[in-house]
Amino acid sequence: MFTAWLRKTAKIILDPLADRLVRLGLTANAVTLIGCLGTVAVSIFLIARGSFFWGGILIAASSAVDALDGTLARRSIGPTAFGSFLDSVLDRVSESAVLLALAWWYLAQGQPTYVLLAYLAVVGSFLVSYTRAKAEALGIECKVGLFTRVERCILMVAGLVLDLTAPMLWILAIGACGTALHRIIHVYSASKGKPLSA
């Protein structure tokens, strides 16, 4: 899987960087919050105003910071339940901020089709995460589908930097909703005949 390969490759860079941050006293939760606030600020002050190239570059930087929090947690006090919860919640905030900024831009340009696509992309991304969380709460592994958060993030950065936000929104909306549907079908198949635990 692409996500697993990317994490393994990034580990070479992230581990020594995380060790240095541990020595500086920075916590994983602080890094999570910094990454999210950076993405929200870039979305409001750059992407919503049509500055896509620099918005994409800075979103990539914020995503790199966000990728560091898990490594930092593992190499300090260890992952915590709240840290995992906070990371998941703020991931949704960050992704939504970028897409809502794009929706705002296209609304100002009088292009409602792309506003709708940005909305569908937000819905799809939430459903991709929710279907996995709910399935795993029921004891069913659910990592299927192409458009996980890593793939969506790479697509958003590429679309912004290359000024291809219109096709990016089409791909993202269809891909995210398609992945959510894929997961629903997967859970249906995996749960056939399985009673709900009391």
**Helix residue spans in the chain (DSSP H):** 2-24, 28-45, 52-74, 81-108, 112-137, 149-161, 165-190
What is the percent of the chain with per-residue pLDDT over 70, rounded to a whole number?
A: 86
Active site residue 19: no
Range of lowest pLDDT (69-73, 86-90, 128-132, 137-141): 69-73
pLDDT band for 155, please (50, 70, 90 cuts): very high
Number of Cβ within 10 Å of residue 110's Cβ equals: 7
Q: What is the pLDDT of residue 21?
A: 67
Q: Hey, what domains does the chain have and what are their CATH numbers?
A: 7-189 (1.20.120.1760)
Residue 99's pLDDT band, with cuts at 50, 70 and 90, is: very high
Q: What is the mean pLDDT of residues 16-37?
A: 79
- SS3 of residue 75 by DSSP: coil
Look-up: residue for tokens 């696509």?
117
Kindly name the residue from 15, 19, 91, 163 that is annotated as catalytic. 91
The token duo for 12 is: 């070479």
